[in-house]
Amino acid sequence: MTTADTTPSLESHTFEADVAKLLHLMVHSVYSDKDVFLRELVSNAADACEKLRYEAISHPALLDDDPKARITLLIDPDNRRLTVEDNGIGLSRDEMIEALGTIARSGTKAFMERIQAAQGGEGAQLIGQFGVGFYSAFMVADRVEVVSRRAGSEEATIWSSDGKGSYTVAPIALDEAPARGTRVILHLMEEARSYTERYRLERIVKEQSGHVPVPIAIVEKPGAEPQEVADGAALWVKPRSEIKPEEYTDFYRSVAGQFDEPALTVHFRAEGRHEYTALAFVPGSTPFDLFDPERHGRMKLYVKRVFITDEADILPRYLRFVRGLVDSADLPLNVSREMIQESPLLAAIKKGVTSRILSELEKLAQNEPQAYTKVWETFGPVLKEGLYEDFERRQALLGLARFKTTASGDGWRSLKDYVSAFKENQTAIYYVTGMDLARLKASPQLEGFRARGIEVLLLPDPVDSFWVTAGVDYEGKPFKSVTQGAADLAPIPLTETQENAGAPTPEAVTQFIQSVKATLGEAVADVRASERLTESAVCLVASETGMDRQLERLLARAGQLTSAAKPILEINPRHELVVALGNLGEDQQALREDAAHLLLDEARILDGELPADTKAFSQRLARVMRRCVP
């Protein structure tokens, strides 16, 4: 009788990415501080312990006779080996393949492009930003093994890789695996031998992971007793007076996965009808996912220090750059995702935390304007999304908003500053939208406003074209586009001396403008003399009731607009070219018609567009130029 072969089969897989190149770039180009690998592994272990705590609420048997979470660092200097072990939730075979076999889930191509662009210290800021923290272990190890047993399972699995393009997965005997949780074994490179020195590991843990909510111990050599180096005390439950700034910074880095300094720390405890603690950070630099189309927030929800989820919408989407957590004493421990979405308590928490963060930003703007300016330069385009979406807090957000203007130079202006500089008879806040600040500053539509000393907001962000159309006002003053409708500038006196200002338009020029309208026909909605032009001959504007031209362009690019409205061509009746064209005789009708089309094309070019018919434009321009050649 033949005995069946019970030897476990070893499965070999290739990574779902060009890992040979990817890991080579990580090791040699990205990370300037190799110590971060330990923080990443400890962070993963802490997450696993928190997940177990949550699952054990409904399945207490998962804890068995080992209810206290822990993370242990085991040192084996003789074999040049470092092990990071936890007694958390663990991984099944399939979970191991999914979690460890796919690198850079947020976009391998984008990740690799960013790695190649990173130089020097900038590379360290990529840590934690692309779901590759685990793979930082290959900076110090030439082989990594992961042994894991999921809580409640009777199976254990070992994953192994040298980081050069493939990995293996195989079953492993239960007596060779942790009773529950995960063991990450790093076979260290010779040059990384110092990571088996206790003092170095203890220093790294205290600097980078001292505030994870799980105790951390070090076993100095095989067979030695564990010695605790971090007590797992949650930072957010401590009084603010007992927390040092560097402790906040360390915790921010662990929760945000970034290496910068927080620009603002908000830590408070709400008491009364609802009790909860919030610890939130405004990053000092731009998170990689700031413009993620899904616009998910990154605030974690805890209940009595038990991690519940990082998918609760605690903050509105325009505050998605904020990192941190909320720990509630009132939500039930067995809260489900459905209950979270419908919870009136969570709605109250969301309102309270949002209001507090906006209030702290306002205080920062008042007390430390330079620090706030940096925050606005980093996150202003995102905060402005709230002007469109959050009617309730719109006035608060308008107070926080800062703008480049025609009067600000290289600085920023608040709306309070703007309104305080209103000119005589000015009743509106004027703005111009576009995609390029330099082009906006050169817009011909600004000339009449500049001549009267009227400040105009320069709005180069795509979101600007949307929030200004949402019926916004500031202290009762409406927003008005300088490229839409009639300028209505006559009631505001000129501050610059303008030649022929206020003089009636010569009859010949009036007739020329009428002839331009007749020549252009259906190409434009109207042709009229301009109040807003003082230097340029022409410009394009939208009608009073139509859509702003920049918004039209954005919607057209997004495929949400099938046809654009016809623009209005405004002609400066005082411009010397227009006067000269008006004085042409009847025998120059062909030239007048070519000039009409060229003026429209000139206006299009000034507006950042191409002529509607480039061939016809070229032919007309050639005919006019030939007339100038003797």
Binding-site residue numbers are 40, 44, 86, 106-107, 129-134, 182, 337
Strand-pairing partners, residue 571, are 529, 538
Would you say the C-alpha torsion 200, 203, 206, 209 has a positive or negative sign?
negative
Q: Are 578 and 509 in contact (CB under 8 A)?
A: yes
Helices 198-208 + 36-58 axis angle, to 10: 60
Task: Answer left, alpha or beta for residue 608, where phi above 0 means left and psi between -120 and 50 means alpha.
Answer: left
Burial class (CB in 10 A: 0-12, 13-18, 19+), 154: exposed
Interatomic CA distance for residues 390 and 504, integer angstroms: 47
With CA atoms as reference, report the closest residue to 83 among 25, 132, 38: 38
Provide the token pair at 393: 């807090």
The H or E element that residue 466 is part of is: helix 464-467
- Please work out, in degrees rounded to the nearest 5, the angle formed at the alpha carbon of residue 255 by the alpha carbons of 249 and 260: 45
- Give the 3-state secondary structure percentages of the chain, helix then strand then coil, rounded to 5: 40, 20, 40
Name, in order, each residue with C-beta under 8 angstroms of 155's C-beta and a sequence gap of 6 or more: 92, 93, 149, 171, 174
The H or E element that residue 181 is part of is: strand 181-188
Q: Which residues of 121-147 are buried (b: 16+ CB within 10 A; e: fewer)?
A: eebbbbbbbbbbbbbbbbbbbebbbbb
Provide the token pair at 481: 């586009």
Please provide residue 267's backbone torsions phi and psi, each rounded to the nearest 5 degrees: -135, 115
Residue stretches of the annotated binding site for ATP: 40, 44, 86, 106-107, 129-134, 182, 337
Name, in order, each residue with C-beta under 8 angstroms of 279's C-beta and a sequence gap of 6 or more: 235, 236, 251, 265, 266, 267, 324, 325
Task: Answer left, alpha or beta for residue 596, where phi above 0 means left and psi between -120 and 50 means alpha.
Answer: alpha
Interatomic CA distance for residues 164 and 142, integer angstroms: 9
**Per-residue DSSP letter, 237:** G
**H runs (alpha helix) in 496-563:** 507-520, 549-557
Quote the distance between the C-alpha of residue 253 and its chain's center: 17
Strand-pairing partners, residue 147, are 158, 183
- Could you tell me whether strands 473-474 and 477-481 are parallel, antiparallel, or unpaired per DSSP bridges? antiparallel
Provide the token pair at 328: 């509630």
Q: How many other β-carbons are positioned within 10 Å of the β-carbon of residue 314?
A: 25
Q: How many other β-carbons are positioned within 10 Å of the β-carbon of residue 619?
A: 13
